[in-house]
Amino acid sequence: MSRIKQCFDNLEKSGKKALIPYITAGDPGPDYTVTLMNALVNAGADVIEIGMPFSDPMADGPVIQLACERSLAAGTSVKKVLQIITEFRQGNKDTPIVLMGYLNPIEFFGYQAFSDSAKEAGVDGVLLVDLTPEEATDVVECFRENEIDLIYLLSPTTTPERAKKICDLASGYVYYVSVKGVTGSAELDVDSVKKHVDSLREITTLPIGVGFGIRDAKTAAAVSKCADGVIVGSVLVNAIAANKDHQKEYIADALEAILAPMRKEMDA
């Protein structure tokens, strides 16, 4: 059983929902990331999504675009991201790690080579934003061979027919984008999210994580009432940006101060 499935199974048994924070690897520098990942776990993270920096992150708003720029400027490559995960795994064998990014750097690295290296590093899932189901056949097999979950995005505009096709390919969990737009772009309509999540449950038994627009403990708790996982990104990346000139321990404390209240409110 994969770490992701085990995590969601354990949470379901305990009546809790997954808290899934996102940060960009190598932001503000590669030597910061493991410390920040450990801080997220300390604050109650169940799964961690790690962004692989890319020069043209089309699904991301300015907050994560700038994080990618800082990371790339600091010399973060795909190989370096995998080294970061390897280092994290030396102290944490349990927390599932999902790499989130775009096809271009992975294609350049080589799908099979990337999948093999990700498995060796201790990666549990991969979300490639611009990988469509129609183009996924060969890629899916590379990851399935290494028991790495391939996670897909679903949006408010995804038709039921296409959602079914995507869910049939996905594993681990599916990521429902709660707003029309890029990351960090809009206010959250929880009633609309619930309606869409309920409709997705009619076509998949996979856990459903909801992201985009979750900024505080109140919205995290509200979303957790209908979703299996709450995905939090831009507010954390903003905190990294605001404190990028401080020591990594200071930034770690800032992330814990944001995430811990979300965990507490979700569990209340």
Reading the block at residue 122, the tokens are: 């201790």
Q: Can you tell me the distance from the alpha carbon of 18 to that of 7, in angstroms, rounded to the nearest whole number?
A: 8
Q: Can you tell me the distance from the alpha carbon of 98 to that of 203, in angstroms, rounded to the nearest whole number?
A: 23
Q: For this structure, is 149 an active site residue?
A: no
Q: Which of 31, 46, 56, 60 is catalytic?
A: 60
Segment (H or E) for 232: strand 229-232
Q: Which residue has the tokens 């309606």?
A: 195
φ/ψ of residue 225, rounded to 5: -70, -25
Q: Which residue has the tokens 């990104």?
A: 233
In the sheet with 174-177, reading across from the earlier edge strand, the strands are 149-151, 125-128, 97-101, 48-51, 18-24, 229-232, 208-211, 174-177, 153-154
Task: Decide: helix, strand or coil at residue 268.
Answer: coil
The CA distances from residue 83 to 18, 48, 74, 120, 165, in Å, are 26, 16, 15, 10, 34
Q: For this structure, is 49 an active site residue?
A: yes
Reading the block at residue 6, the tokens are: 């085990």
Q: Which of 27, 46, 49, 149 is catalytic?
A: 49
Q: Can you tell me the distance from the alpha carbon of 175 to that of 202, in angstroms, rounded to the nearest whole number?
A: 16
Task: Decide: helix, strand or coil at residue 187.
Answer: coil
| Active-site amino acid positions | 49, 60
